[in-house]
Every structure is written in structure tokens, then in C-alpha cells.
Amino acid sequence: MRITGFDYQRVPVSDDVALNVAVAGTGSPIVLLHGFPETHLMWRHVATDLTADHTVLCPDLRGYGESDKPADTGETYSKRSMAADVVAVAKAFGHDRFALAGHDRGALVALRAGLDHPGEVSHLAILDVLPTLDMWDVLHGTSAAVGFHLYLMAQPPGLPEQLIGAAPDAFFGHFLDAWTRPGDAIPADVRAAYLEASRNAVTSIVADYRASAGIDVEHDTADREAGNRLTMPLTVLQQDWGAALGYDAVALWRAWATDLDHRTVTSGHFMAEESPSEVVKALRELLTRS
């Protein structure tokens, strides 16, 4: 499936990786990064709205959708590598500086891009994640069961891929159902597209998650110890996970950012599909900040 009105290109981002990118609109650029277990299609409502006055780029992350899925060498699916992909995509379209928004896994890539490439990322929006270090810290006791997939995919290569590959639609479909408020935010045809894409990317999706229990932790720890912070305007939209898991979300994010607007939403995890107008409003307000 494709976003109506968008053109599609395959964009080389390194010697052995090209990304599938949807692009439309004119004006200042914004890159939108999807989450799990989805593709760029999750931005279809938000992206279409933003094209009225922005150039909108929606890539499939490496390892997802119709983008390349290289074999994991240890750093292949680090958020640092995936963030470099994003900068390369923007530059391929002539943009040396751009706004960036990410949901879920894409939000972790966006966060790393903001830390590694502050000269390129002008504004940053994060949808419904915590930074990797904080995510692991807040999961404890029986409440950690909500993140069972994080622990499963953190295991060494072999078992996670075998277990998930044995029933991929049941596994990926669980999250599409459990993390969405009742309604028609994800229609049957879109859901089927997500399941097909995920079914064809089990190994690379697991590698992406495994990186967040390994090399991503190393990179984030180095930034925390060095006192590195996000210096661009940052908007964070999150469900009230702090109340559910017992942490102060605003305080956690403030430790990473110098210019933070944190908002708690009432939609489910897939807020760009459940409440696209709320997300568009937040992004437009973010882009007015300097």
C-alpha cells in the first residue's frame, strides 16, 4: 500500500542499503519515522495534512517495509546507523537541515539523530517512547510484562527469530490489537499490509530490538556520562505510562533535553492513526519554536 498523492523512490543511504521513501509537498522539510510493527504508512493522515506547507519525507526504516534488510554485523541496526540513514535521505532530497518526528522505534532513531546530528535536526518530535536507558530502568517486577517482547528479542540470534517466525501474524497482530484503542484507526487492509511487511522482516526486526539491549545502550550511556543533551526544540507525546509503571516521564525527558514540551495524550500507542489531528497540531506548534 502507498500514501495517496506521494511519490516513491529508493534512496541509497550507504554502500549496501537503500530505503523506500515516500515524498510529497513543498516548503520546509520534515522527516517522519514509523514505529513497530508498522511501516511509513502509519503517517498517512499526518503526512498528507503536513504537505500543505512542508516537504514531507516518509521512509521505511532499514529492516522494515520495502527498505533493504542487511544482515546484522553488530552495528547494522544500531540507532546510530539508522539515524545516519535519515540524514542521508534528507540530503538526497537536497535538505541539509530538517525537522524530524519519530514514533516508537522510529522515535529512538530520531532521538539518536538529534544527539548525533544537532546541526541537521532543527526540531524533534518523539511519540510514545522513553530513551533506551530509561526504558530499561523503569521496567521491573510484574509491570515489566508489558514489555515482554523487548526481553524476547534481546536474546542471542536463533530462538527469538524461530519463535516469532513460527507464528508471525499472531505475534505482530497482538501489538496492533493490544496497543490500539477500540475503533477503526487501523483498517483491515492497512493491518494486513503491516502484518505482511513484518512477516517478511522477522530477522531484521529482531536485530533492531536486539541492538536496543546492546550497542544502543552503549551509545546512550556514553552520551549520558558526557552530559550530551538534545539542544533543538523537542516535543514529546506520550500515553500516561508514568502513572502505570511508576515514574516521572517529564523528569526523565528533561534530563535529555534543554527545550522540552511534554504532553500526555489519551489516545492509544498508535496516536498518529488514532488522533492524527492532535499529532498534526503538536507538530505545527513545534515547528514555530526557535
- What is the set of active-site residues? 104, 269
Cα–Cα separations (whole angstroms), residue 65 to 7, 130, 154, 199, 274 = 16, 24, 21, 10, 21
Residue indicated by cell numbers 536485530: 207
Burial class, 259, CB count within 10 angstroms (exposed 0-12 / middle 13-18 / buried 19+): middle
Angle at 243 between CA 241 and CA 246, to 5 degrees: 95
Cα(121)–Cα(90) distance, rounded to whole angstroms? 10
Strand 98-103 and strand 234-238: the pairing is unpaired
Choose among 36, 34, 37: nearest CA to 45. 34
Peptide bond into 160 cis (omega under 30): no
Judged by DSSP in three states, 178 sits in: helix
Cβ atoms 37, 51 nearer than 8 A: no
CA torsion, points 109, 110, 111, 116, in degrees to nearest 10?
Answer: 90
Which residues in 55-78 are b (16+ Cβ under 10 Å) and which e?
bbbbbbbbbbbbbbbbebeeebbb
Contacts of 179 (CB under 8 A, 6+ apart): 268, 269, 270
